[in-house]
Structure 1
């Protein structure tokens, strides 16, 4: 029996193939690295990269075109960021467009959210999407976590789990295993170290955590096993 792999659900730099299944984020128009069988991709227009409506529309078209590649398995990261200087109304328009693209093409959505959880939740309630929405690099309050979890959101955790004063730790301990993923966005190490921290915080074995993440990944990406 093959060992259960680690899953890094959101990373930016390309990593050489290891025992980890990785979902590398790329932006519209970027090229793909050589596909190895374990490195997959998400494609989306990040709120930091919002430009003019015309340029954004062109990027959205490229997002749709990228979904034709069988190794692209998520839309995103897309989302809202009230800290960056880009026009928030245009951020909302572009995010909503990508949410509808994800729904139309039946792809899970990876979400970047900074100080805009209420707006993301409002759009979710408006759309009632069938496809999963995953909050990446999650660091929301416990109360917000409860609201999002009640509305079927999933959560990806990274380096904030190492910060004892982080809101992530409380939310991570609260959430059931079937709602949890891990990522190396903004983290220099490998995802196995974040799994180790997560297992310690939950008081469970790493193997159980790996199995739960693997099962969850296959629930939201049912065709994964046929791709490698």
Structure 2
């Protein structure tokens, strides 16, 4: 029987795994490395990279062009960040545009959110999207997590799980396995370390966690059948 692979739902470094399925984030206009059967891509305009409206529109056009490539199967990371110093109204416009593009192309949306969960919730209520929205690098506490879970968000956790007093740990322990992804983002090391910590927090075997995340990825992958 083929072993269940690890899934790294959001990573930046250009490392290619033989036993891990990765979703590597690129920015509009970036080049692509060689594809393999286990390396996928997301493409989006990060709120930290917001420029003028004209620059952003050009980036959105490049993003749409990139979505035509094989193995680009997610939109993002897109989102809102109230601490990054970029114009929030323009962030909101660009985020909404990317959310609509994700629906148009029928790709899941990977979301960067800092201090703006209420605005993300408002857009989800407005759009009623059919595609999965994944909050990556999730750090929020239990009260917000319960609200977001009721609205069918999914959650990706990274090295925050190693911070003993992080409120996200309680959120992680609360969430059912069918709501969870794991990621390395920009950290050094392999996603296996995140899985080991996450399994310990859930008090379950690592293989059980791997199987659950694999099933979550397969649910998304079914919506992408025939696209790559």
Q: TM-score, normalised by structure 2?
A: 0.97
Partner of 1:156: 156
Give the superposition deviation at 1:224.
Answer: 6.3
| 1:49 is the counterpart of 2:49 | yes
| 1:147 is the counterpart of 2:185 | no
Q: Which moved more, 1:12-21 or 1:41-50?
A: 12-21
Partner of 1:198: 198
Q: Summarize deviations over 1:181-217 as a string: whole Å, max 9, x none.
A: 0000132110001000010000101111011100100
CA contact (8 A) 1:42 1:75 kept: yes
SS at match of 1:221: helix
Equivalent residues in 2 for 1:12-161 (5 A)?
Answer: 12-161=12-161
Give the superposition deviation at 1:97.
Answer: 0.2
Give the superposition deviation at 1:17.
Answer: 2.6
Structure 1 residue runs of 4 or more that deviate by more than 2 Å after TM superposition:
223-228
CA contact (8 A) 2:21 2:39 kept: yes
CA contact (8 A) 1:17 1:36 kept: no
CA contact (8 A) 2:110 2:135 kept: yes
Change (3 A) 1:75 1:69: same
Give the superposition deviation at 1:16.
Answer: 2.5
Give the superposition deviation at 1:225.
Answer: 7.6
| Structure 2 CA distance for aligned equivalents of residues 62 and 29 of structure 1 | 6
Partner of 1:175: 175
Unaligned runs of 5+ in 2: none
| Structure 2 CA distance for aligned equivalents of residues 227 and 22 of structure 1 | 17
Give the paired residue count.
228
Please give the root-mean-square deviation of Cα atoms over the aligned residues, in Å: 1.3
Q: Summarize deviations over 1:106-137 as a string: whole Å, max 9, x none.
A: 00000000000110011001111000000000
| Structure 2 CA distance for aligned equivalents of residues 227 and 55 of structure 1 | 29
Q: TM-score, normalised by structure 1?
A: 0.97
